[in-house]
Amino acid sequence: MSNLSLTPEEQSLLAGEAGPGVQRAMEIVVALGRIYGAGDLTPVQHVQISGVSYKNLGDAGVEFLNKWADSGAKVRVPTTLNPAGMELDQWEAMGISPDFARPQLTAIGAFVRMGVNPTMSCTPYLLPGLAPQRGDHLAWAESSAVAWANSVVGAYTNREGGPSALAAAIVGRTARYGFHLDKNRKATHVVEVACPVRDVADFGALSYLVGQAVGDGTPFFPDLGAWLPPLPADLTQGGEAGDRLKTLGAGIAAYGAVALFHVAGYTPEARDQGERLIRPDARRLTIDTLAPAYAIMDADPETVAIDLVTIGCPHASLTELQRIAERLRGETLRTRLWVTTARLTRERAAQSGWVQIIEAAGGEVVADTCAVVAPVRSLGIRTMATNAGKMACYAPMHSKVKMRYGDLDRCLDAALTGQWRDVPHPV
Ligand code: F3S
């Protein structure tokens, strides 16, 4: 327990002078600060709330949110939402039952009453006007976005829980501990990558091996930059490098609990500080093959018929949508394809005609949700294929599906033929 120092304004919020909903939020932020030994609170520039699908919330969670909204509490900083369990205005067309849709819409309505922007995406950093800047302090709860913000942008955020992120939004502050402090951002592991890492699926496989090895540590990659093209000037485009990094961050957060990684000469803090970022007691490891990861992640090798091919975990970038459209132009799919993305990214992709090309082939560019947080079993999905490491980790657990894992071309080939083509994975 720490002696947490509060400003007079913070003390008044804690005393309930701004109402019971704000008081409850301040109590949560202060309690976390005391538990984690924070000296004070820091203002936050943006909040991202996760765990908003009715599949995660249940009725108790919906009631909790409604009560908080009824108290009159409002967010004080820009606040966005993670994917829900369905497209908000297309749920009937998706085949979602009213028993799921009604409480889901009630939960989103409670967030909106509190002033939250219902972006329904795990990639707030791909949304123009919302992307964080270097040095920003954030309270983000989506673990893949946390890894991106800390590592690729050089912003500061801990891995918040859904309620603690909402509390931070309502008081506009979070406790200053953990990754908000430079001294805690040093690398605990040095991870040499001595095998090719050619595409998004390979970066997902790498994320499995690194996440398992480092747990909640902070890896420093001395040579991974060799497998990363330059990032685009406009990070909201994604770019091939952005797509690889968002997959890596999502996977090491899912297979481990990593919130920050450094790539020598590439990510902002590593560019500035180089090997000074490595703690003297850092452990060293070498990844010389991705084969063990593919063996685990491509979990059901006997599964050939695929019910759903899902691309876009974290939510697809413009670059991914373009690449998929170029591959599917003039084709006809034999299996259901979801390309999950942010609503705003879908609108931007439609301006270039990419959404229309994918839909003309029979694919669906799905906004607001993904194959983990949507009730896909109730849609008849039993087998899935993906090129995303986090999806390969979570969908078998959360959606009880059999999983095939491979690169984008192999996934789209499965969507075109209806069958998974068994060729050896690159190692
Ligand atoms: Fe996003 Fe769903 Fe993956 S929330 S990170 S697309 S599991």
pLDDT tens per residue across span 309-340? 999 999 999 999 999 999 999 999 999 999 99
Distance CA 15, CA 18 (A): 8
Amino acid 426: pLDDT: 66
Amino acid 410: pLDDT: 95
Amino acid 156: pLDDT: 98
One-letter amino acid at 115 equals G
Q: Are 267 and 261 in contact (CB under 8 A)?
A: yes
One-letter amino acid at 208 equals Y
How many A from CA of 88 to the centre of ligand 1? 16
Residue 209's H or E segment, with its range, is helix 200-214
Report residues whose beta carbon is within 6 angstroms of any ligand 1 atom: 82-83, 122, 144, 250, 313-315, 340, 370, 372-373, 390-391, 394
- Of all protein residues, whose CA lies closest to atom 2 belonging to ligand 1? 370
How many A from CA of 249 to the centre of ligand 1? 12
- pTM, full prediction: 0.96
Which regions of the chain are under pLDDT 70? 1-2, 426-427
Nearest to 168 by CA among 64, 368, 31: 31
Atom number in ligand 1 closest to CA 145:
5
Distance CA 334, CA 202 (A): 26
Amino acid 314: pLDDT: 98
Torsion of CA 207, 211, 214, 220, to 10 degrees: 30
Amino acid 256: pLDDT: 97
Ligand 1 pocket mutation, candidates 50, 365, 391, criterion most atoms within 8 A of CB: 391
How many A from CA of 301 to the centre of ligand 1? 23
Q: Is 398 exposed, middle or buried (0-12, 13-18, 19+ CB in 10 A)?
A: middle
- Give the CA diameter of the chain: 65
Question: Measured between alpha carbons, how far is residue 232 from residues 229, 235, 237 in Å?
Answer: 9, 6, 7
